Amino acid sequence: MRMRICGTRGSVPTPGLDSARYGGNTSCVHVQLSDGTHVILDAGTGIRNVNRNGTDAPIHVLLTHLHMDHIQGLLFFAPLFRAGAEITIWGPSAGAIPLRNRIGRYMSAPLTPVEIRELPSHLDFRNCPIGEWRLGSARIHAEAVIHRGPTLGYRIEDADATLCYLPDHEPALVGPLDQIGDEWLSGYTLARNADVLIHDAQYTDEEYPRHGGWGHSATSHVVEFAARCDVARTVFFHHDPGHTDAQLDRVLDDGRERWAQRGRDPATLELAKEETVIDVGLPVA
Amino acid sequence: MSDQHPVELILARGLATNLTTAVFLVDADGTLLFFNEPAGALLGVQFEEAGPMAADEWGARFAPTTPEGDPLSVSDLPLALAIGGRAAHSSMRIHSATGEVRDIEVTAFPLAGRSGQTGALAIFWDRSS
């Protein structure tokens, strides 16, 4: 299983010289399974960087939730405009309103010039099953996690490698993580023993008190969560749009120092950076 | 991998922890998962001391009766009805762990998430206070 980070940013695209190194596109990770199936995690503006060379293989887009930074790139995803392309969009259910209708609030007038029904591709919208299900060569496990609104986290197991994707997650909302048992820790089942954990790290510990309840995590939360779940490699994700590359370097330093204090190898904690490719399950180079 | 509770129970516990209303939380099997400090004050024991327990155990431990003193079985309790999928309310009398008799009101309702019903929650209060 190979993953490529296409968008790293949370909340809003952040183009500019100050964000060029880690990237300014919003959340998107392209995963190619061992059988060649394409899985795209979220459809932020980074999805424009997926499949530049085109592909005829079916594409599965797994949305964690429908906040704008996770769907904004959909209308700019080239395969949607290619006749014959088969695309399935999976997302969290929310009462009686079908996923297609909820996404259609964005992909419709007056917000966009194109309606979903006008797209020439074969586009299917499905409520993501909770629990375990199969997709290509992978076993997918989806569970609701703590964020604002219906939000899923994903665990993808494929050929002895495990990737966990929790881009928007605030497990500390219910209390200090070091005082919460594993059974009360949101996301624990999804992340436990993962080879790679991609996790929300939007805030520094200094910033978090002003943003508690907004659905995101601080540096120390991610370190605590990753250690509790005993993951092999942790990727800080969903960078705050207000953080420059230089500030993100300091976030990484802080995270690695905390990680090392737990006896972990600092090299196994990193910041998401656009165009980074990771072969999930292989040791850090 | 089934040792983590569904997120709606995690959030319910987080809410209960921050309330001054007494709250009692069970899973879909009726197993007691948590009660908060105000509930502990009424029951005469804090959750940290009591710990999780099966429905039969907590149903009997506080010896619930009608306000007139007739015994109530576990299946008659509002939480049992809520586990069955519907909200319920009743007045009852319990015996706290410290031996005090309390007349309480209980309202219970099912907790259903996207994967179905995952538990039930009861709020209760002391009628004599």
Mean per-residue pLDDT over chain B, rounded: 92
pLDDT one-digit tens code per residue, B52-71: 999 989 888 888 999 999 99
Give the per-residue pLDDT at B129: 65
For residues A9 and A285, the model is more confident at A9
| Residues A11, A279: Cα–Cα separation, whole Å | 27
Give the per-residue pLDDT at B115: 81
Q: 10 Å Cβ neighbour count for B48?
A: 8
pLDDT one-digit tens code per residue, A185-205: 999 999 999 999 999 999 999
Does the pLDDT of residue A32 top 80, yes or no?
yes
For B47, the token pair is 């959750």
pLDDT one-digit tens code per residue, A110-166: 999 999 999 999 999 999 999 999 999 999 999 999 999 999 999 999 999 999 999
Does the pLDDT of residue B33 top 70, yes or no?
yes
pLDDT one-digit tens code per residue, A237-281: 999 999 999 999 999 999 999 999 999 999 999 999 999 999 998
Give the per-residue pLDDT at A57: 83
- Strand order through the sheet with A196-200: A131-135, A138-144, A152-158, A161-166, A196-200, A233-237, A269-271
| Residues A69, A13: Cα–Cα separation, whole Å | 8
Distances (CA, A) of A4 to A30, A98, A228: 5, 30, 26
E strand or H helix that includes residue A166: strand A161-166
pLDDT above 90 coverage of chain A, percent: 94
Q: 10 Å Cβ neighbour count for A129?
A: 14
Select A2-279's CATH number: 3.30.70.20, 3.40.390.10, 3.40.50.300, 3.60.15.10.
3.60.15.10
E strand or H helix that includes residue A219: helix A219-229
Question: Residue B18, class by beta-carbon neighbours within 10 Å (0-12 exposed, 13-18 middle, 19+ buried)?
Answer: exposed
Backbone angles phi, psi at A3, to 5 degrees: -120, 145
> Are residues B8 and A144, on separate chains, in Cβ contact within 8 Å?
yes
pLDDT range class, residue A85, cuts 50, 70, 90: very high
When CB atoms are compared, the residue of B14, B114, B115 closest to A175 is B14
> Are residues B10 and A184, on separate chains, in Cβ contact within 8 Å?
yes
**Cβ–Cβ < 8 Å for A167, A70:** yes
Give the per-residue pLDDT at B121: 97
Does the pLDDT of residue A3 top 80, yes or no?
yes
Q: Does residue A96 sit in helix, strand or coil?
A: coil
Q: How far is A145 from chain B (nearest CA, A)?
A: 6
For A194, the token pair is 């993962």
Q: Which residues are A31's β-sheet partners? A: A3, A39
Which one-letter amino acid corresponds to residue B106? V
pLDDT one-digit tens code per residue, A37-78: 999 999 999 999 996 565 678 999 999 999 999 999 999 999
Best of B1, B3, B9, B32 to substitute, by most chain A Cβ atoms within 10 angstroms, is: B1
When CB atoms are compared, the residue of A141, A174, A182 closest to B11 is A174
**What is the domain partition of chain A in residue ranges?**
2-279
DSSP state string for B2-55: --SPPHHHHHHHHHHHT-SSEEEEEETT--EEEE-HHHHHHHTS-HHHH--B-H
Chain A residues in contact with B25 by the CB 8 A cut-off are none
Give the per-residue pLDDT at A52: 58
Find, in chain A, the residue whose alpha carbon is nearest to that of B12.
Answer: A174
Chain A residues in contact with B4 by the CB 8 A cut-off are 182-186, 188-189
* Chain centre distance of CA A187: 13
Give the per-residue pLDDT at B1: 46
Give the per-residue pLDDT at A55: 64
Q: Kindly provide the b/e burial profile for residues B90-115, where b requires at least 16 CB atoms within 10 angstroms of the residue's own CB.
A: bebbbbbeeeeebebebbbbbbebbb
For residues A134 and B114, the model is more confident at A134
> Are residues A188 and B14, on separate chains, in Cβ contact within 8 Å?
no
- What pTM did the predictor assign? 0.93
Please indicate if any CB of chain B lies within 8 Å of the CB of A126: no
Give the pLDDT mean for A11-36.
97
> Are residues B4 and A185, on separate chains, in Cβ contact within 8 Å?
yes
